[in-house]
Amino acid sequence: MWWFDSKGAPSWMDWLALALGIVGFGIAIYQLCKSRSSLEIARDSLVHTQRSLSRNQVIADIGSFDGILDRIDALAKGTDRDALDEQLKIFSIKAHEVSALLSNVEENTGELEIVLVRVGDSVSLARSKLYDDSDEKLSTLVSDSISKVRVLIPQVKAVGKKLQSTPMAPLPTRKGK
């Protein structure tokens, strides 16, 4: 039989190498699946940590609104335009930051986010008016914006209290992988 060459037939070493190769590929595939699962757990942990940090930042920023408003009130009664401008800038920035972070932290806050942006813009507009007329009292120049802020703060503080009283969802665990 010339078509069958027994010298070219695989030996027991060839079969052993094939078995070890299959086992090696199996281990590699298992490790890939395991590392993919670990990657998913790490990603979930990162998202959870990001939400937690955003939540804490929102709570801290909401807590600072009262102090900023008190300083704005005190400065509006005086004549220091630069200091009032600085406090209005701080409030505007905080309002926009809280608005941006709320969407990551809490569901159903879209309307409040829009109001925060509008009030922040209104405060920025009041800043631009501070230097238009140097004879006009500061309290007159910022009164409209401050009244909007006074209406907004209780709504924002309510969201802050809700965030403080609601525990963060636990980090999801993956079992069986």
Q: Which domains does the chain carry?
A: 14-165 (1.20.120.660)
pLDDT tens track for 47-63? 888 888 888 888 888 88
pTM of the model: 0.69
Rounded-to-integer distance, Cα 101 and Cα 156, Å: 13
Check residue 90 and give its pLDDT.
94
Asked if pLDDT for residue 87 goes beyond 90, the answer is yes
- pLDDT above 70 covers what percent of the chain? 92
- CA torsion 8-10-14-20 (nearest 10°) is 140
Lowest mean pLDDT among 14-23, 37-46, 136-145, 160-169: 160-169
pLDDT tens track for 127-160? 888 887 777 888 888 888 888 888 888 888 888 8
Q: Which is nearest to 71 in space by CA: 57, 53, 50, 85?
A: 85
Q: Which is nearest to 104 in space by CA: 173, 42, 168, 158?
A: 168
